[in-house]
Structure 1
Amino acid sequence: MWLFVAVVCLMQQTTESEEFLRKRHLNPQEFMTTNEIIQYWGYPSEEYEILTEDGYYLQINRIPYGMHSSGKTGPRPVVLLVHGILLESRCWIANLPNNSLGFFLADAGYDVWMINARGTSWSRRHKTLSIDQEEFWDFSIHEIAIYDIPATINFILQKTKQEGLYVISQSQGGTLAHMGKERICPFQ
């Protein structure tokens, strides 16, 4: 009987743990989207959804200029931040603004773009497939390199009317840039 009571109490505690964390506000950014975090720190934020050649919709985020930029118009150097495996765009803005590369670059005068590769929390849509279908998940880093990266770069260059951009990546993001080099090179 005591074992049953202990299991029921444990189950009750587990189901309430997320609600408990939300109420305690340990980290207000914990349950925010990339867009919300950017705005939380007072930066301008834009969010776009782009379509890849093979039908995946990707969410990309933009910090067009820094918080204290006086010249908010005109061309700025463009940088694309590509996250590593099991991460998403929030990894570039997860710390305080003076310790997050995304904010640091925006304050330094860059037009900052951050990708969410297919399969991440923010890029789980397809033209014809549902995330419940096995075919939706039938991709590897090869498809991310040859479809996601070029589609993102094309969109950014069209939107900013720039001829080129910088790419900063970590972990899998660096591998993606190298794997997709032949498809990316025409954009340099």
Structure 2
Amino acid sequence: MAYFGEIEHNNLHGLICIPVLPKSLAEDKGFFFRLFCTGGRNPNDPDNPKDNKEHMMMIFFRDVLAESLNRPLVKLLVISVFLVYLCIGIYGCSVIKEGLDRRKLSRDDSYSIQFYDFEDKYFREYPYRIQVVINETMNYADSRIQQQIEEMLQKFEQSPFVADKSMTESWLRSYLTFLNQDDSFLFLQVRSIS
């Protein structure tokens, strides 16, 4: 610890490592010392006004803003503005529309606008797909397993919450259809030779 006069200092300047003094004790020092090497408070007189100047923002909040907010007319104005804001917010929540118009995200001359129009026209009737996952290891080559999966899919398609069979996609159905085609074995033999 460094000692400067009668005051104990452990607060050294970060660049030049000399003790930093409170402003009330640095009156006899030069201008630059008072500018760059003063701060803190005097431990002998901690409440002196020279070391404890009030900040301008605190003065503004204490003297100007607090005084104006305590007037009845300003209180009424603040409450009225808040109630108008609350009413606009409630109205906005009641008329909000679900979804996003993706056309507004693209430029007017972008090709994506035509894509969004076609997608809305042809693919929006049944937009949500349900995935059915069989979380079990199965021998899909077994015809009994194939039949059980087909029965499960048919029960699912008969549900009133499913559009119809034409909307169902099954990789097993597609594969079995491919195997039942006349030219599929020729394709498999050519693939296995090469």
User: Normalising to structure 2: TM-score of the pair?
Assistant: 0.22
Please identify which structure carries the higher helix content.
2
Which is greater in Rg?
A: 2
Please identify which structure carries the higher strand content.
1
User: Normalising to structure 1: TM-score of the pair?
Assistant: 0.22
Bigger RCO of structures 1 and 2 (CA < 8 A, at least 6 apart): 1
